[in-house]
Every structure is written in structure tokens, then in C-alpha cells.
Chain A
């Protein structure tokens, strides 16, 4: 088949197998939940169906390793897409396993919850694969719209609706800015295809300097919002605090990684010829984000809010890799992103298990956890130390490789700032660890155990944190092979 301009279109639907599988699963989940009584299935069947669909999607996405094809000039299926597909599916699986008890008790509309979770995974996967501005925009909105609703689904918690309102209003403004920027990019580049924009921009754009600059600034503002970079971060702590904790974990992992996948695709692809116009914008954003994120985190008293600011700080580190974009920093960014996601999920799975037991989320509530549940205290401590960048844990190695690649990209001053910010972050992570180990438990001091799935999720993430920290070679190779298609 060809399109109106005579380009051949490759309509091989198998290429979109994982996405199709997940959409079908999402519909099935809705159906199964609506007819639960007629079908005589229990509540736990719904997460089971979701996991099954995710596993099928995972296998389908592994079919396309080392391929480089595109679907109808809209979606690229290469190692980069496959890397992110696997990553996003894995995140969703972990979130579902680790928090289905939490979801059953504290989330309204179970079926909608799971099906929206699956749909937002689809959006994130398409964000990584898009090769046309229109596909990218629709993918962003599929992911964001699902998340707007997911944030508002916490049962009997008035903060949830408020968080969702702030998220949807600011998200709408950010989308509008992004789109306005894209319209200028379309005007300058003459096409919505990444490859053709890149070709048009590298032809020389001196006469169109102003619209391009305006477009870039708007695009960076819009994406900065999605990635929660300072000064576009205001929604982040509120949405993180108001959302159900599994969604907070999901926001900090998938929504962030998907935005970075998109940033990599755009700034290493269509926007690379204009690097002189955007490099300084992103470096300002990176410095502001890591400094302010880490400083404001110091005075937080709620664990979800603390982790929100800590994730803002981490975004600052990751933006450095976009400033000095190359295959080396790109692969370091992918490695850091996966290490960060594993670490963050370890902490969040621990916090969810803790919340299931106590129903509290203030940092002081963690007092004496080392006595009442030493295993959980160990998991959270390992996660927090890894976020701070302690050796032998994922955070140290991935951060080291990231910083090293940025230095060899010629931005030593950025790395110095990052190191200082990183030192500050150690202080507030230690505050939480201090509560767990240095204080006596308040009230009930009896020992308690996690549920089997709680052990599974936290255990897997703990192993992941140590594994990446000690033996990262497989992850490193995967990141290298994933970034290669972007720089050929």
C-alpha cells in the first residue's frame, strides 16, 4: 500500500503486537470486572488477567530484537523501542504484583484501574516508538489521560481529587504549549516525519531562526512539564501525594522513562541539527532541576512527597545526558534510567507494604521499622542508599557511568553541580533511614510479615538493585544495543 505522496507503507500488524495485545487485555479486564458476578470470578482474577496479557505482550515484543522496521511510517520498531517496551511492561508487572492488595482495599473502580494502567503502558510504549509528531502526540495523550484518571481513583481520600485536578489542568496547559511548539516545528520542517524534519533542519535554517527558537522553547517547556523538570514541576509533589501509592510508583517510573524516551528520539533525531539553539536551554533546566529538587526535598515530612522531590532531582541528572547527547551519553542514560526505575520501585514496593500494614505515610511513622520488620527496613534502606548513590548498589554504578559520559561530553561544570546536589540528597535519604534504625517503634512493637506477593515484589527489586550494582554488564550491553539505532 502507498500513501497519497506515493511512499510505500508497511502495514505489518505483527509489528504492533505488544500494543494490540495490551489493548485487548485492557478491554477484557473491563469486561471481566463488569460481569464479575455472572462469570463467577473473584477480585483476584482481574490482576491475573492483566499479568497474563502483559506477559504475552512481553513475549511479542521480544520477537523484534535486532530488527529495524517501521509500521506505516508512524512507529519504528527497533532495539530502542524493544528496550522501552520490555522496561514498561516489566514496571507494570511489578506494580501490579506488589500492590494488588493495596488496590483491592483502597482504590475505587477496580476494573477501570487495571485497564487504564494497561492503556497508559501502551501510550508509553508508543511514545518510545513514534517516528511521526502526530503519533508521538497521541501517544503522550493516551498515557497522560489514563494517568489523570488513575491519580483520582484513591478511595475516600479528598487529596486524590485535588491532585488529579491540578494534574489535569497543568497537563492540559503543557500539552497546549507542546503542540504550539510542534506546529512551529511543522512549519519550519515542512513535515511531521522525524526523518524529514531532520533533513529540513540540517539544510540550513537561517531565515527561520525565530520560529524555530520559539518552537523549541515551547517544546522544551511542554516536555519539561511531563518530565517534571524545574520550573515546570509544580504538579509533581501534589500528584504524587494525592495519588494511590502504586500510581505514584508508576508515575515516577513509566511516565518519566517514556518522556525521556521521547526526548532521546527527538533530540537525537529531528532536533539534533538545531543543537546550538537548545543545548543551553536544557542545561539551564538540568541545573535548576537538580538543585531545587534536592534542596526542597530536605524539608519534606511525607514519604511520597519526599520521593517526589527526589525524583525531580534525579530528572536533573538525566537531563545532563540530553545536553551532551551522543551514543555514549545516550546508553549511559538508558542504563541510569533502568537502574533508577528498579531502585525507585524497590522503595515504593516497600512503602506500599508498609502502608498496607499501618495506613500511614509520614516519615516519622517509619520509626522502629528495623525492629518490627527488619526485612522491609532493609529493602527500603537499600533502595534509598541506591538513590543516594552508594557503592555496590545500582545507583552508584549507573550514576558513575552517567556522570563520566557527561564529563567526556565536555560539561564538567554540570557534573560538579550534580555531585554537590547528590551530596545534599544523601542527607534526606539518611533522615528516613535514621527513623527506621535509631528509634524505638511507637505503639505496637510486635513483629509482622508481608504477604507472599509483597515478598515477591520487594525481593525481586532488592535482587535487582544489588544485581545492577554488582554485575551490570548485561544491562550495559542492552543499553548499548538499544541506543545504536538512534545514531546510525
Chain B
């Protein structure tokens, strides 16, 4: 059996890449994709733990399922809001969203 550490390392790499993307990217769409990476890391973690834990193993798998569903809903919602910004400013770059400061 593959040791659980491997899964955890994979998920932490994915999570770190996602977090970097959120901080470094300026396009709202790419930020959303980076959030998706972070959520994928979460799913991997839950599934790995669920497989290695006895007893209530299913709750982790169900959790992963819900994370995937909610993530899809979140992207749909966020894209709608990005679209609104695009209609108003003709750009999806978050730097353009600068009318609110301090």
C-alpha cells in the first residue's frame, strides 16, 4: 500500500501552488482556477484519510464529494460576478477593481 505521507505531500504541493496562484495572478479567472487547485488538494486529503482510517471511513469520502459539488457551484457564482465586473470595466483583471480603498 502506498504510504499516506505521499498523498499528504501531493496535496500540500497542490495547495501551495494554488495559494501561490491566488497571490500572484492578476486575472480573476486564473485566481478562480487557483482556488480550484486548493480545493482539489482538500479532496485528496479527505480521500486519503478516509482510506487509511477505519470506522467512519465513509464520512471522508462523502465530504470529498460535497467539496467537489460546492466548488462547482462556487465557480459558477464567481464567474457571474466576474462577468458583471467585465461588463462595467471591460476587463477581468482584479487590478481594475480599485475604486474601493482603505
Interface positions of A (Cβ within 8 A of B): 4-5, 132-134, 137-138, 141, 145, 148-149, 152, 158-159, 161-166, 168-169, 172-173, 175-177, 179-180, 182-184, 186-187, 190-193, 196, 237-238, 241-242, 296, 299
Chain A hits for B42, CB < 8 A: 176, 179-180, 182-183
Q: In the bound complex, how far is the Cα of B19 from the Cα of A441, in angstroms?
A: 50
**In the complex, how many angstroms separate the beta carbon of B69 from the nearest chain A beta carbon?**
10
Q: Is B17 an interface residue (CB 8 A)?
A: no
Given contacts A173-B38, A180-B42, A183-B46, are A165 and B100 in contact (CB under 8 A)? no
Complex CA gap A124/B77 in Å reads 19
Give chain B interface residues in 69-95, CB to chain A under 8 Å: 70, 73-74, 77-78, 81-82, 84-85, 88-89, 94
Number of residue pairs spanning A and B whose beta carbons lie under 8 angstroms apart:
125
Chain B residues with CB under 8 Å of A193's CB are 56, 59
The A contact surface, by secondary structure, is helix
Q: What separation, in Å, do the CA atoms of A173 and B89 have in the docked complex?
A: 24
- Complex contacts, B31 vs chain A, CB 8 Å: 169
| Complex Cα–Cα for A173 and B28 (A) | 13
Decide: A162 and B45 in contact? CB cutoff 8 A: no
B35–A172 contact, CB under 8 A?
yes
What separation, in Å, do the CA atoms of A32 and B39 have in the docked complex? 37
**B70 x A141 contact (CB < 8 A):** yes
Taking a contact as CB atoms closer than 8 A, the residue among A5, A161, A179 that contacts B81 in the complex is A161
Q: B94 near A169 (CB under 8 angstroms)?
A: yes
Q: Contacts of B49 on A, CB cut-off 8 Å?
A: 183, 186-187
For residue A177, which residues in chain B have a CB less than 8 angstroms away from its CB? Answer: 38
A165 and B94 in contact, given A134-B66, A172-B32, A238-B100 (Cβ under 8 angstroms): yes
Alpha-carbon distance A172/B37, docked complex (angstroms) = 11
A165 partner residues in chain B, CB cutoff 8 A: 28, 78, 81-82, 84-85, 94, 97
Contact B59 A176 (CB under 8 A): no
A-B contact pairs, 20 of them (CB 8 A): A134-B59, A134-B62, A137-B63, A137-B66, A141-B73, A148-B78, A158-B89, A159-B99, A161-B81, A162-B99, A162-B100, A165-B94, A165-B97, A176-B38, A179-B39, A183-B46, A184-B45, A186-B49, A190-B56, A241-B100
Give the docked Cα–Cα distance between A30 and B18 (Å): 37
Give Cα A237–Cα B82 distance, bound, in whole angstroms.
20
Given contacts A5-B56, A183-B63, 16 further A-B contacts (CB under 8 A): A138-B66, A141-B74, A148-B78, A148-B81, A149-B77, A161-B81, A162-B99, A163-B100, A168-B77, A169-B28, A173-B35, A183-B45, A184-B45, A187-B49, A190-B53, A237-B100
Of the candidates A175, A180, A296, which one forms a contact with B102 in the assembled complex, judged by CB atoms under 8 Å apart?
A296
Taking A4-B58, A145-B73 as contacts, is the C-beta distance between A169 and B45 under 8 angstroms?
Answer: no
Residues of A within 8 A of B99 (CB): 158-159, 162
Top-7 shortest CB links A-B: A176-B38, A183-B45, A187-B49, A238-B100, A161-B84, A162-B97, A179-B42
Give chain B's interface residue range (CB within 8 Å of chain A). Answer: 35 or more
Which one of A152, A187, A241 contacts B84 once the chains associate, using CB atoms below 8 Å? Answer: A152
Q: Which residues of A contact B88 (CB under 8 A)?
A: 158, 161
Residue-wise interface mask of B (28-48) relative to A, using a CB-CB cutoff of 8 A (1 in contact, 0 not): 100110010011011001100
**Which residue from chain B places its CB closest to the CB of A179 in the assembled complex?**
B42
**Within the assembled complex, what's the spacing in Å between the Cα atoms of A159 and B91?**
15
Contacts of A152 in B (CB 8 A): 81, 84
Task: Name the interface residues of B12-33: CB closer than 8 Å to any CB of A.
Answer: 15, 18-19, 22, 28, 31-32
* A133–B63 alpha-carbon span in the complex (Å): 9
Known contacts A159-B100, A237-B100: A179-B78 contact under CB 8 Å: no
The verdict on B3 contacting chain A, using a C-beta distance below 8 Å, is: no
Q: Are B81 and A180 in contact (CB under 8 A)?
A: no
Which residue on chain A has the smallest CB distance to residue B38? A176
* Nearest B-chain residue to A134, judged by Cβ: B63
B58 CB, nearest partner CB in chain A, Å: 6
Residues of chain B within 8 A (CB-CB) of A183 are: 11, 42, 45-46, 49, 63
Q: How far is the CA of A353 from the CA of B74 in the complex (A)?
A: 34
Q: How far is the CA of A303 from the CA of B81 in the complex (A)?
A: 25
Cα A141 to Cα B73 with chains together (Å):
10
List, in ascending order, chain B residues with CB within 8 A of A168's CB: 74, 77-78, 81
Contacts of B66 in A (CB 8 A): 134, 137-138
The residues of B that contact A138 with a CB separation of less than 8 Å are: 66, 70
CA distance A184 to B7 in the complex (A): 12
Identify the interface centre among B32, B63, B82: most chain A CB within 10 Å of its CB: B63
Residue ID in chain B nearest A132 by CB atoms? B59
- Shortest distance in angstroms between B56's beta carbon and chain A's nearest beta carbon? 5
CB contacts (< 8 Å) of A242 on chain B: these are: 100
Contacts of A149 in B (CB 8 A): 77, 81
- Distance (whole angstroms) from the CB of B17 to the closest CB of chain A: 12
Chain B residue nearest to A164 in the complex (CB): B81
Instruction: From A5, A192, A241, A299, give the contact of B60 (CB < 8 A).
Output: A192
Residues of A within 8 A of B84 (CB): 152, 161, 164-165
Asked whether B53 lies within 8 Å of A187 as measured between CB atoms, the reply is: yes
Q: How far is the CB of B63 from chain A (nearest CB, A)?
A: 5
Shortest distance from the beta carbon of B54 to any chain A beta carbon, whole Å: 8
Expressed in whole angstroms, the minimum distance between the Cβ of A93 and any Cβ of chain B is 27
Contacts of A172 in B (CB 8 A): 32, 35, 74, 78
Complex Cα gap A163–B101 (Å): 11
